[in-house]
Structure 1
């Protein structure tokens, strides 16, 4: 007779909630709607558009829409390697806890659905927004690079990503009233399922960590730092491309200094959205720093330090990096 694993009940609760919040793209989210381009897509606390005083209200709205398009594109990109990794780790449950296996399989199915959702949004925006927008990284190429790293490093990065989805919705997207209704619903429904995924990420990271000795863990920490650097490289390329697209669509004769500020603000916003806000999430810090020793933690903090300038000038919620 099989003995239930210690976390069986926790996996079972994830399954129960997953069934309860389950949604379908057209029936629940899109519902035949299109984006409202008279409204912003990204909230000010994430887009940082209010930090560029020389932009008009219409230009700030456009900048938030360009960032929203990239937010959706980058989520479609990261969901590619997340869904692949979830399928990979499911093998470890094939002949073990079948409740855990069901929870992981459901997560994989939901992540594939999220990819489809973001592809559909991109098709809408491609039709409705001016030509010239460029996606600078290939989801498959990025996935191959990420998946070349240890499970520990990939799951730590995945936990970070799915926790900042929840932080973004709670702190910025939910409270702001003047966002495109379809856009707001996209992130509401995305967050509902990512909340369960974050629980599984944490459980699988801790389970993987238990297999490692200090030397292996130290190598995994270096891989995580490398993955953060790789993500930042993607953000740098996309920020440069998006700034160029924004300036092209605006058609405004900005000064060279203003053009530089626009590009710098795109990069700051993306670093805030995709790196700093996740690393500074208290729950992420508690899990990650609870697994590593002081020296390993210091390596991570030193690697992140050059990016922490990307806090909003007036953050919605102070999120100090753990000492």
Structure 2
């Protein structure tokens, strides 16, 4: 494990510059009075992994993409509840210190609150164009309360993983596609613009917190991070099952005999979307090299292997 760098004011300042430059408004810049286009997919095949279901028609694949896309938006709406709370908590350490660092964290929280509002706003819009029966399982406040019981080190590890996969998904999978609902694609374009600086703050704050704790506290925090990943997987299992039930209810009995394949496929896609695409990100692996020992990384890797 390498020593953590001193407070990097230049990087915090860069986040402020980016925040000012990319600032957007929900209605004026993102929604612009547009509806979702249900003749197109929401999430691309690279994220939904729908292409493995060769028994689906194009219509079914499009509907499955829209279900996963609705869940994808709702997932961000609920994880940003605890992200905002933890970053707001971290501002305490900067109140009487660097006001540059403080401003970067305050801007981060302001943007996350706006993102939550965006995702709350689009849920009824998606509901209006899709059949009744969809259910989003997690309770944002209950999950946030459970997450925030853990150490700041562990929570920052989870937050960075989330915000790195946000960027990766948009750049590698969503942006290149021209067969997605224009509004849906734009929502994640604008979301990505502000999330780019958030991941920098996450790295800075995780390294700062890491430098303040003992080896014993860090070792305990690694166990907390592993437990939170397991809890995330429990959420994914419940939501993927609910989404498959909804898909089968709307698609009819013709696919009832494919329920097992669909459950396995949706869960595989969700584990990739929300866990592995984050922890396998090169920047995440690089940060793990800074804040953990080889033995701790091995423990984390062994825990993740059980989810495959």
Q: Tell me the TM-score range normalised by the shorter chain.
A: over 0.9
Paired residue for 2:274? 274
Offset from partner CA, 1:1-23 (integer Å, 9 cap, x none):
xxxx8412211111011000001
User: Counterparts of 1:271 and 1:29 in 2: how far apart (Å)?
Assistant: 28
Please report how far the alpha carbon of residue 289 of structure 1 lies from its aligned counterpart in structure 2 after TM superposition: 2.6
The SS at the match of 1:176 is coil
1:20 equivalent to 2:36? Answer: no
Paired residue for 2:254? 253
Q: Is the 8 A contact 2:41 2:66 kept in 1?
A: yes
Q: Is the 8 A contact 2:248 2:256 kept in 1?
A: no
Paired residue for 1:200? 201
Paired residue for 2:37? 36
Paired residue for 2:90? 89
Please report how far the alpha carbon of residue 195 of structure 1 lies from its aligned counterpart in structure 2 after TM superposition: 0.5
User: Counterparts of 1:70 and 1:202 in 2: how far apart (Å)?
Assistant: 27
Tell me the TM-score normalised to structure 2 length: 0.97
Q: Is the 8 A contact 2:7 2:208 kept in 1?
A: no
The SS at the match of 1:36 is coil
The SS at the match of 2:212 is coil
Please report how far the alpha carbon of residue 131 of structure 1 lies from its aligned counterpart in structure 2 after TM superposition: 0.6
1:1-150 mapped onto 2 (5 Å cutoff)? 6-150=7-151
Between the two structures, name the one with larger relative contact order (CA 8 Å, sep ≥ 6). Answer: 2
Offset from partner CA, 1:84-123 (integer Å, 9 cap, x none):
1111111111111001110000000000000000001101
Paired residue for 1:154? 155
Paired residue for 1:293? 293
Q: Is the 8 A contact 2:244 2:263 kept in 1?
A: yes
Q: Structure 2 regions of 5+ residues with no counterpart?
A: 1-5
User: Counterparts of 2:192 and 2:181 in 1: how far apart (Å)?
Assistant: 17
Offset from partner CA, 1:148-195 (integer Å, 9 cap, x none):
000000001000000000110111001111000001101111111000
Q: Structure 1 regions of 5+ residues with no counterpart?
A: 310-323
The SS at the match of 2:19 is helix
Paired residue for 2:216? 215
Paired residue for 2:189? 188
User: Counterparts of 1:119 and 1:139 in 2: how far apart (Å)?
Assistant: 12
RMSD: 1.0
Please report how far the alpha carbon of residue 31 of structure 1 lies from its aligned counterpart in structure 2 after TM superposition: 0.5
Paired residue for 2:3? none
Please report how far the alpha carbon of residue 306 of structure 1 lies from its aligned counterpart in structure 2 after TM superposition: 2.3
Offset from partner CA, 1:229-262 (integer Å, 9 cap, x none):
0110000000000000011111242242x11111
Task: Tell which deviates more after alignment, 7-16 or 177-186.
Answer: 7-16
Please report how far the alpha carbon of residue 290 of structure 1 lies from its aligned counterpart in structure 2 after TM superposition: 2.3
Q: How many pairs are equivalent? A: 303
Q: Is the 8 A contact 2:77 2:120 kept in 1?
A: yes
User: Counterparts of 1:261 and 1:6 in 2: how far apart (Å)?
Assistant: 49
User: Counterparts of 2:164 and 2:232 in 1: how far apart (Å)?
Assistant: 16
Tell me the TM-score normalised to structure 1 length: 0.92
The SS at the match of 2:254 is coil
Paired residue for 1:302? 302
Query: Which stretches of structure 1, 4 residues or more, deviate above 2 A after TM superposition?
Result: none
Offset from partner CA, 1:39-85 (integer Å, 9 cap, x none):
00000000001001000000000000000000011110100000111
The SS at the match of 2:176 is coil
Please report how far the alpha carbon of residue 137 of structure 1 lies from its aligned counterpart in structure 2 after TM superposition: 1.1
